Amino acid sequence: MAPRPIIIDTDPGQDDAIAILLALASPELDVLGITAVAGNVPLALTEQNARKVCELAGRAETNVFAGCARPMLRPLVTAENVHGRTGLDGPDLPAPTMPLRDRHAVDWLVETLMAAPDGEITLCPIGPLTNIATAIVREPRILPKIREIVLMGGGFFEGGNTTPTAEFNIYVDPHAAHVVIDSGVKLTMMPLDVTHRALMRHDWIERIDRLGTPVGKAAAAMMSFYERFDMEKYGEAGGPLHDPCVIAYLLRPELFQGKDCNVVVETGSELTMGMTVVDWWDVTDRPANCRVMNRIDADGFFGLILERLGRL
Ligand code: RIB
Ligand code: CA
């Protein structure tokens, strides 16, 4: 079977980095390109971090583009308190030598999608949705070109991780999230309700470190750095591996469970700005517009990550 063409839109971020490594290690996927967006840290760092991770994976030929440097309307909010000053604290990765492609990510997204057959390309946003929404607003004709959008973002019964009601990716650019969720494209959402069930236990991190490879050592260092914030906050025995859930779903969807729901993004109230209002119990007459995941086989998820990182 031909590999599935995907585009990863990302704000690395240690968990983004694990997602990128998982995708690059998986022959079932054809990573057409990686588009960086401002989020965890400013764009100048997220694009560098994306290239650092590609070189760590031995995939310096990967197309990496820089996209939007700020949300559509709101000022940028970053998360150095979680990811460190560089956004990729933990390992000491060398400055990238591979080139950043000289097209703006949004221009490349539109051009690539418009040149593809309908329904061919899967978009995998794992940061704020600014690039994706800007491409949709710029050229709505890309919508039938998109096979599916599988995104990490949102939360419902789990609430938020940035405000009491909003998850970071949605909170940073709620207007972009509204454009994407309102687009009519086939959507699958990995909210905190599922990613908080994918906690990096210390024995997981030790087994990744024991791969003994540069990728294993770097991934373990990233996870060890990144987990501390959530462990202190939630008192859990490990930090959540948010973004790799998107790639794992493409590889082994049977690891996940969820249901089709209506999802609406709050963009009016400052109190609940960026909240994903998920009609899980179908109490409104709003049509389902998203497959929302809330369960994961955590051991199967870790086994997939360990096996694939071992290939790099
Ligand atoms: O809320 C978790 C999300 O915000 C993840 O994508 C993480 O990388 C940050 O971007
Ligand atoms: Ca991210």
pLDDT for position 239: 84
Q: Looking up tokens 């389902």, which residue turns up?
A: 288
In the chain (312 residues long), the average pLDDT of successive 10-residue segments reads 97 98 98 98 98 98 98 97 93 97 98 98 99 98 98 97 98 98 98 95 93 98 85 77 98 98 98 98 98 98 98 97
User: Which ligand has an atom closest to residue 161 CA?
Assistant: 1
248-279 burial code (b ≥16 CB/10 A, e <16): bbbbeeebbebeebbbbbbbeeeebbbbbbbb
pLDDT for position 231: 75
pLDDT for position 123: 99
The full set of domains in the chain, from first to last, is: 4-309 (3.90.245.10)
Give the burial class of 229: count Cβ atoms within 10 A of its Cβ; 0-12 exposed, 13-18 middle, 19 or more buried: middle
DSSP summary character for residue 185? S
pLDDT for position 126: 99
Q: Is 305 in the pocket of ligand 1 (CB under 6 A)?
A: no
pLDDT for position 213: 98
Distance CA 227, CA 275 (A): 24
CA 252, 258, 259, 261 torsion-angle sign: negative
Cα 15 to middle of ligand 1, angstroms? 7
pLDDT for position 235: 76
Cα 105 to middle of ligand 2, angstroms? 17
Return the ligand 1 atom nearest residue 15 CA. Answer: 8
